[in-house]
Amino acid sequence: MKTDPKTKARRDLVRAAAQSQRGFTLLEIMVVLIIIGTIAGLVSVKVIDRLEEAKFRAARIQLSTLRDALDLFKLDNGFYPMTDQGLEALVNPPQIGRNAGNFRVGGYLRDDRVPLDPWGTPYAYQCDDGYFFVIWSVGPDGRPGTEDDVTL
């Protein structure tokens, strides 16, 4: 059985192309994976640092918003909420204490809820006299009085 010269030439060309192409060795694949892993490790460390920095920045912004809401509460009521009333007074003003019944009804915070800090814990609030307050976040460790606390 005789084959056509064109078919034979095509077959030889396909064989030559298949022989000239070679795969990657295991060493080449491992080197590439090590390079990709190193780059991913360096990038992920930077991204994690940026995420933590963003949480601190978000906490400061929320504290500023809460401070502004507390100032509006004071303008309407003549004093800041007491410690036992807490930040919930910005959403549901209490009907006890000074000027009972004369409180403005909520609306100092968006969505009528007190936000949690970026780490999922409530903001701490203290006001003993109705005229001076302190508000802060306990930070990522969740313990008050440590170096990572966020204040204004």
pLDDT reported for residue 121? 93
CA distances from 123 to 9, 40, 100 (A): 80, 35, 26
Instruction: Give pLDDT tens digits for 125-134.
Output: 999 988 899 9
69-93 in b/e burial notation, b at 16+ Cβ within 10 A? bbeebbeebeebbbeebbbbbbbeb
Predicted TM-score (pTM) of the model is 0.65
| 40-64 mean pLDDT | 89
Count of Cβ atoms closer than 10 Å to residue 138 Cβ: 20
- Is the predicted pLDDT of residue 53 greater than 80, yes or no? yes
Instruction: Give pLDDT tens digits for 9-48.
Output: 777 777 776 666 667 788 889 999 999 999 998 888 888 8
Integer Cα distance of 78 and 99 in angstroms: 9
- Is the predicted pLDDT of residue 104 greater than 80, yes or no? no
pLDDT reported for residue 20? 60
Interacting residues of 135 by C-beta distance below 8 A, sequence separation 6+: 63, 66, 67, 70, 87, 123, 124, 125, 126, 151, 152
| 67-96 mean pLDDT | 85
Residue with the bigger pLDDT between 37 and 142: it is 37
CA distances from 85 to 14, 32, 92, 141, 152 (A): 84, 60, 9, 25, 21
Integer Cα distance of 63 and 116 in angstroms: 10
Domains of the chain: 5-151 (3.30.700.10)
